[in-house]
């Protein structure tokens, strides 16, 4: 499934490039550095579920993305004399976001593989890394080397360097998942026997979880594939050069050691022993608020868009009816996931639309189509005799719709609208792919900083249930009060 999403993203990017002539990458040279300095801000894309490189921690009472990579980003921004802005996006969406200009650079522990080099440029390598194997603590003696894993099931992160390294384990069956936390969970629940992971990241997890054990894997690495580098759009050489200067300084002064030490302190702080709820309730609370915000705005704007579309669809004029019908059919016939990505990435070609706004727009446009059908269905369900009675009394079409048909349609529309609201609450989780900090997104964050695989999922499930159940009860109550008969 992940593969197909990537394919679709690529297609979207391709489409938007055709639609907007003059955005070809090579036109930029010399102006890229100037552009960033003019804007006064460097927008860095990352995927903050990768301690100690990028993860969330509370700093001065405020939650933010920290880690070694972020300290490198700060240093680069300082050297360029601009502000740093961090966009936390899912790892899979980082390259599309870069190409669609949602971000200026990617700093996410990314390995400059030959495949990636075909679509983006990389800085010098800023961190030499090593590759580990993660196993269950109880299997420490059973699987001491990569050879001992031959013929077994081994997990890797989708699209990662480790995916190709795992092929060096003889006859291993490779299972790839997007989320590292899911891999760890799969390991602990005996679905897989080992995970090939980036060294420091594996050590961070094993150090915080007594059930895990890790060792450095004896993989053959080809020179290029070692270490992490910063990704740029192709042809932005001036920016690459400037960044490489900062990286050289970091290497000279051995700053990464300091950075890693600081990151370690944050990790210890976040893995705090106050108890799970006490430590992380704020993440869930924020996520719940954003989920509710997106859902509520999605329904309200959806209602406006939907009413308009419904009226258009009820028109006798084909030219009015057709666009509305086409819109409704198209939106209902395509997944929300793609709509969200399309709005976010396509808008990135023109201006920097914050992910939250892009998410709300996508959800509203989507729910508009469904609500249009709810309204149309509600209106059609009103007995034709009602319309005739009103018209026979000399009331106009408009008056009839407004005073007679619509109030009755509302009775059918309300409950369906409530259901739509509940559906949106659940489906809005999809906007987490573009890095909107709603409930699912925050769950991912909590899983990565708490080193807990299942508990955050359970809490989130509970929150969703409480939200939808309360809403259902509320709706039933109001529905009951609305009935005259």
CA atoms within 13 A of residue 466's CA, in its CB half-sphere: 8
185: left (phi over 0), alpha (psi -120 to 50) or beta: alpha
Alpha-carbon distance of 442 to 185, in angstroms, equals 17
Among 385, 473, 480, 481, binds other proteins (CB under 8 A): 385
Size of the site for other proteins (CB under 8 A): 21
Decide whether 323 or 407 has the Cβ nearer to other proteins: 407
CB of 388 to other proteins, least distance (A): 6
Stretch in the footprint of other proteins (CB under 8 A) among 76-84, 143-151, 259-267, 387-395: 387-395
**Residue 38: CB partners within 8 Å, gap ≥ 6?**
none
Decide whether 3 or 403 has the Cβ nearer to other proteins: 403
CB of 403 to other proteins, least distance (A): 6
Q: Strand runs (DSSP E) across 189-271, as ranges?
A: 194-198, 212-216, 228-233
151: left (phi over 0), alpha (psi -120 to 50) or beta: left
257, burial (CB in 10 Å: exposed 0-12, middle 13-18, buried 19+): exposed
Give, as one character, the DSSP assignment of residue 146: S
SS3 156: strand
Geometric angle at alpha carbon 297, from 294 and 300, rounded to 5°: 150
* DSSP per-residue string spanning 283-339: HHHHHHHHHHHHHHHHHHHHHHHHHHHHHHHH-S-HHHHHHHHHHHHHHHTS-HHHH
Decide whether 130 or 406 has the Cβ nearer to other proteins: 406
The site map against other proteins for 392-421 (x = CB under 8 A) is xxxxxx-x---xx--xx--x----------
Among 383, 462, 470, 478, binds other proteins (CB under 8 A): 383
How many CB atoms sit inside 10 A of residue 199's CB?
A: 15
Alpha-carbon distance of 183 to 372, in angstroms, equals 41
Stretch in the footprint of other proteins (CB under 8 A) among 37-45, 125-133, 298-306, 378-386: 378-386
Place of tokens 């989920």: 291
Binding of other proteins by 380 (CB under 8 A):
no
Give, as one character, the DSSP assignment of residue 433: G
Decide whether 128 or 381 has the Cβ nearer to other proteins: 381
Decide whether 401 or 457 has the Cβ nearer to other proteins: 401
Decide whether 384 or 473 has the Cβ nearer to other proteins: 384
Among 35, 188, 391, 426, binds other proteins (CB under 8 A): 391
- Among residues 341, 275, 331, the alpha carbon closest in space to that of 13 is found at 341
Decide whether 332 or 397 has the Cβ nearer to other proteins: 397
The site map against other proteins for 227-266 (x = CB under 8 A) is ----------------------------------------
Stretch in the footprint of other proteins (CB under 8 A) among 180-188, 344-352, 381-389, 448-456: 381-389
Stretch in the footprint of other proteins (CB under 8 A) among 208-216, 361-369, 383-391, 441-449: 383-391
CB of 418 to other proteins, least distance (A): 19
CB of 50 to other proteins, least distance (A): 58
Decide whether 365 or 405 has the Cβ nearer to other proteins: 405
Decide whether 465 or 478 has the Cβ nearer to other proteins: 478
Q: Strand runs (DSSP E) across 130-210, as ranges?
A: 131-136, 153-157, 173-177, 194-198
Stretch in the footprint of other proteins (CB under 8 A) among 173-181, 220-228, 344-352, 389-397: 389-397
Decide whether 83 or 388 has the Cβ nearer to other proteins: 388
Alpha-carbon distance of 166 to 194, in angstroms, equals 10
CB of 411 to other proteins, least distance (A): 8
CB of 401 to other proteins, least distance (A): 12
CA 77 vs CA 52, 71, 104, 210, 485: distances in Å: 20, 10, 12, 38, 67
Is 418 in contact with 469 (CB distance < 8 Å)? Answer: no
Decide whether 21 or 385 has the Cβ nearer to other proteins: 385
Stretch in the footprint of other proteins (CB under 8 A) among 29-37, 160-168, 226-234, 390-398: 390-398
Q: What residue ranges bind other proteins (CB under 8 A)?
A: 383, 385-386, 388-397, 399, 403-404, 407-408, 411, 484-485
């Amino acid at each position: 499934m992940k593969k197909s999403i990537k394919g679709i993203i690529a297609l979207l990017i391709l489409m938007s490039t055709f639609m907007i002539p003059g955005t070809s990458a090579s036109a930029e040279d010399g102006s890229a550095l100037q552009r960033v300095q003019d804007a006064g801000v460097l927008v860095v894309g990352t995927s903050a579920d990768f301690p100690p490189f990028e993860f969330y921690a509370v700093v001065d009472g405020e939650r933010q993305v920290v880690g070694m990579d972020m300290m490198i980003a700060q240093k680069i921004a300082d050297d360029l004399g601009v502000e740093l802005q961090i966009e936390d996006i899912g790892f899979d969406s980082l390259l599309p976001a870069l190409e669609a200009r949602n971000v200026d650079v990617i700093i996410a522990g990314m390995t400059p593989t030959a495949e990636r080099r075909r679509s983006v440029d990389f800085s010098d390598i800023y961190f030499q890394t090593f590759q580990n194997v993660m196993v269950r603590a109880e299997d420490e003696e059973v699987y001491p080397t990569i050879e001992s894993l031959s013929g077994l099931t081994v997990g890797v992160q989708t699209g990662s360097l480790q995916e190709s390294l795992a092929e060096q384990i003889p006859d291993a069956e490779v299972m790839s998942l997007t989320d590292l936390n899911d891999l760890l969970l799969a390991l602990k629940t005996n679905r897989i026997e080992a995970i090939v992971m980036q060294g420091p990241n594996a050590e961070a997890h094993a150090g915080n979880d007594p059930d895990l054990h890790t060792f450095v894997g004896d993989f053959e690495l080809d020179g290029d594939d070692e270490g992490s580098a910063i990704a740029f759009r192709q042809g932005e050489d001036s920016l690459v050069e400037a960044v490489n200067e900062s990286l050289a300084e970091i290497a000279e002064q051995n700053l990464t050691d300091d950075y890693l030490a600081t990151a370690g302190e944050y990790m210890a702080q976040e893995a705090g022993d106050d108890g799970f709820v006490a430590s992380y309730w704020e993440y869930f609370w924020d996520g719940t608020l954003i989920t509710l915000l997106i859902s509520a705005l999605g329904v309200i704007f959806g209602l406006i868009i939907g009413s308009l579309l419904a009226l258009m669809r009820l028109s006798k004029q084909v030219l009015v009816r057709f666009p509305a019908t086409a819109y409704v059919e198209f939106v209902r016939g395509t997944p929300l996931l793609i709509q969200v990505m399309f709005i976010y990435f396509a808008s990135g070609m023109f201006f920097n639309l914050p992910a939250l706004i892009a998410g709300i727009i996508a959800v509203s446009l989507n729910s508009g189509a469904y609500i249009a059908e709810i309204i149309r269905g509600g209106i059609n369900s009103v007995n034709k005799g009602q319309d005739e009675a009103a018209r026979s009394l000399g009331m106009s079409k408009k008056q009839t719709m407004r005073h007679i048909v619509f109030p009755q349609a509302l009775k059918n529309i309300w409950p369906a609208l409530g259901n739509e609201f509940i559906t949106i609450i659940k489906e809005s989780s999809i906007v987490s792919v573009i890095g909107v900090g709603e409930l699912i997104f925050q769950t991912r964050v909590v899983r990565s900083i708490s080193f807990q695989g299942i508990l955050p999922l359970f809490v989130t499930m509970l929150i969703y249930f409480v939200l939808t159940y309360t809403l259902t009860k509320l709706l039933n109550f109001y529905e009951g009060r609305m009935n005259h008969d």
